[in-house]
Amino acid sequence: MIGVLIPVSPSRKGQARDYQIYLSHYAVLLIRVEMALIYFLSGFDKLITEAWRNGAAIFSVVNLDFFTNPVFSISLDKWQLVTIAWAVIVFELAFSVLIWFSAFRKYLLILGVLFHLGIVVFMGLVDFGLLMIISYTIFFSLKGEP
């Protein structure tokens, strides 16, 4: 819905053009905030959930027939389950904060693409993984943006 504010027509002349640029930058900022909140809330929810902290959530996901790719048969030890679970929690919480710093942005986006490609390959959630990867384009710099 916020995307309605991003103009797609040719830019206007004079002061109207300035308003169009401000509106466009504001809409992009709102979408970026929404993306950061998605990651923060997801990471925070995992952090307060015992099943994520002890790796049981990863064990459950790995053993669901309809959420896994039948090509892969994964058998993980307890420490691997816990490590993966905490890596997901740390990534999601870190993404929500560090994405605002240009020094970290490129690395977070690369890590995020790898993270979501892992979801595509190992869990078979192609639509979700690809949509999240595509949504990262909102973090590319806009023309005239500092």
Q: What is the pLDDT of residue 6?
A: 59
Q: What is the pLDDT of residue 82?
A: 96
- Quick check: 116 and 133 in contact, CB under 8 A? yes
- Quick check: 123 and 67 in contact, CB under 8 A? yes
Residue bearing tokens 């504010």 = 5
pLDDT digits (tens, 9 = 90+) for 109-137: 999 999 999 988 888 889 999 999 999 99
Mean local confidence (pLDDT), 9-36: 78
Q: Is the pLDDT of residue 68 over 70?
A: no
The amino acid sitting at 21 is I
Q: Measured between alpha carbons, how far apart are the two ends of the chain, in Å?
A: 25
What mean pLDDT value characterizes the chain?
Answer: 85
Q: Which of 36-40, 61-65, 105-109, 122-126 has the lowest mean pLDDT?
A: 61-65
The residue with greater pLDDT, 139 or 14, is 139
Burial of 92 from C-beta contacts in 10 A (0-12 / 13-18 / 19+): buried
- Give the domain ranges of the chain: 35-139
Rounded distance between C-alpha atoms, residue 78 and residue 65, angstroms:
20
Mean local confidence (pLDDT), 21-45: 91
The residue with greater pLDDT, 69 or 39, is 39
pTM of model > 0.75:
yes
Q: Is the pLDDT of residue 89 over 80?
A: yes
